[in-house]
Amino acid sequence: MLCHRGGVRAIAVDKTGTYMVTSGLDRKMKVFDIRSFKPLASYLLPAGATSMTMSQRGLLATCCGDTVQVYKDVCSTPVSRPYMAHRAPGRVWGVQFCPYEDVLGIGHGDGFTSMLVPGAGEANFDALDSNPFRSVKQRQEWEVKALLDKIQPELITLQPSKLGELDTATYQQRHKERVERLGFDPREKEKFEPKLKMKGRSSTGSVQRRKKKIKNEDQRELIKQSLEMKDRADKERKKEEKMTSLGQRSALERFQK
């Protein structure tokens, strides 16, 4: 595809992939329809654009030397003058629009400059098409879906003979690792040993009575210990009171009636 009489310096394509804008050494900027490979418009720039980019809403940004120019609707209508213009502190070597924002990033010899361009970003985004707030898992699912969309449905088939097969080697390896991890084989059946039970001993009522009896025996033992400790404390207290009373009693009190 012959676009210019000289070398091509910059190329920009819109997000739909329908229109392409090129700039060459002949100082011309041309708009092409990629579907038919035909030129739609041609513009003469003061100097050939060294870098170009298109926003989500169709705005075209070009840089020539230290000047950045933004054009509006270059693909649909003829343009006579730029929509916006900005002079950078140094020579501009690259421009790029920020997705879903009205911001144009400009890289020049003295650093980086951001430029506000109203109407450049898409305000209402389609989460199923391109979600700027998607998580890592959502991005991975979107990549898989995009790959599947490229494959023809006729090529996505299953072999019925492979569905009923079992990978024996893999199954045995997983079972061996599980046995080593647990320390025993969970699939091994234990030998059945019947238990001899006395008649009426394993009934529900008997089991409950035995449980209640054991519970009462434990409580009885605790109550017995607490009573013994209480009696021992009472005896010691009475003994101390008697010794105290004998020590304070006078010799004449024994003749008192």
pLDDT tier at 255 (50, 70, 90 boundaries)? Answer: low
Which pLDDT does position 176 carry in this prediction? 87
DSSP state of 176: H
Which pLDDT does position 45 carry in this prediction? 84
Q: What's the CA gap between 88 and 53, in Å, rounded?
A: 17
Q: What's the CA gap between 78 and 39, in Å, rounded?
A: 13
Helix (H, G, I), strand (E, B) or coil at 253: helix
Q: Is the pLDDT of residue 12 over 90?
A: yes
User: Where on the phi/psi map is residue 158: left (φ > 0), alpha (ψ -120 to 50), or beta?
Assistant: beta
Which pLDDT does position 178 carry in this prediction? 85
Its pTM surpasses 0.95: no
Average the pLDDT over 45-69 and give the result.
89
Q: For 29-39, how does the pLDDT look when each residue is reduced to its tens digit (9 = 90+)? A: 899 999 888 88
Average the pLDDT over 237-257 and give the result.
70
Q: Is the pLDDT of residue 68 over 90?
A: yes
Q: What's the CA gap between 48 and 63, in Å, rounded?
A: 9
Q: Is the pLDDT of residue 253 over 70?
A: no
Which pLDDT does position 249 carry in this prediction? 61
Q: What's the chain's average pLDDT?
A: 82
Q: For 77-110, how does the pLDDT look when each residue is reduced to its tens digit (9 = 90+)? A: 888 888 999 999 889 999 999 988 899 999 998 8
Higher-pLDDT residue of 203 and 101 is 101
